[in-house]
């Protein structure tokens, strides 16, 4: 009787260990997909990675960029961000293209691109972008 009881306990333990191994393998397989999903949403508790990604777009396009303002909508479901990018026309336009193709779901509320007033060079352009981050989780 004791041997049967020990065998049953050992079998249950082995089944649990196999289930845990299977779960670990599943989590390892979906790790990349989870990371990609996380990059699509900005958390209200930490919107810094999202804001940093916006400023990094400037580095990718040779435009100097900065976040001018950030505010949550009154219901807290979205984030409103105003950005500025400055550089050659191509750089500012490429900044816009990268912004449009961001992994975050954005809505453009306002866009103004023009030459910098009083610039020494005709190649100086700036863009102001007001966007709404739709994939914002409070």
Per-residue pLDDT of 51-81, as tens digits, reads 888 888 888 998 989 999 988 888 877 889 9
44 pLDDT more than 70:
no
Question: Is 24 exposed, middle or buried (CB count within 10 Å of its CB: 0-12, 13-18, 19+)?
Answer: exposed
Domain of 30 in residue numbering reads as 2-35
46 pLDDT more than 90:
no
Distance CA 45, CA 29 (A): 28
Quick one: 133 and 75 in the same domain? yes
Quick one: 104 and 54 in the same domain? yes
To the question of pTM greater than 0.85 for the whole model, the response is: no
Quick one: 111 and 60 in the same domain? yes
Distance CA 34, CA 42 (A): 14
Q: Which helix (H) or strand (E) holds 4?
A: helix 2-29
Quick one: 48 and 97 in the same domain? yes
Quick one: 12 and 51 in the same domain? no
- Write the DSSP assignment of 31-59 as a string of letters: HHHHHHHHHH-EETTB-HHHHHHHHHHHH
A 10 A CB-CB count for 124 gives: 16
Mean pLDDT across the chain, nearest whole number? Answer: 82
């Amino acid at each position: 009787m004791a041997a049967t009881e020990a065998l049953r306990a050992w079998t249950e333990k082995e089944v649990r260990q196999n289930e845990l191994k299977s779960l670990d393998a599943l989590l390892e397989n979906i790790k990349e997909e989870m990371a990609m999903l996380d990059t699509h949403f900005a958390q209200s508790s930490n919107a810094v990675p999202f804001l940093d990604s916006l400023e990094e777009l400037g580095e990718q396009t040779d435009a100097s960029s900065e976040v001018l303002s950030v505010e949550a909508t009154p219901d807290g479901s979205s984030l409103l961000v105003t950005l500025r990018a400055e550089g050659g026309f191509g750089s500012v336009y490429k900044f816009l293209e990268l912004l449009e193709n961001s992994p975050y779901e954005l809505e453009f509320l306002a866009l103004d691109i023009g030459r910098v007033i009083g610039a020494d060079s005709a190649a100086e352009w700036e863009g102001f972008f007001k966007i709404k981050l739709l994939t914002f989780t409070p």
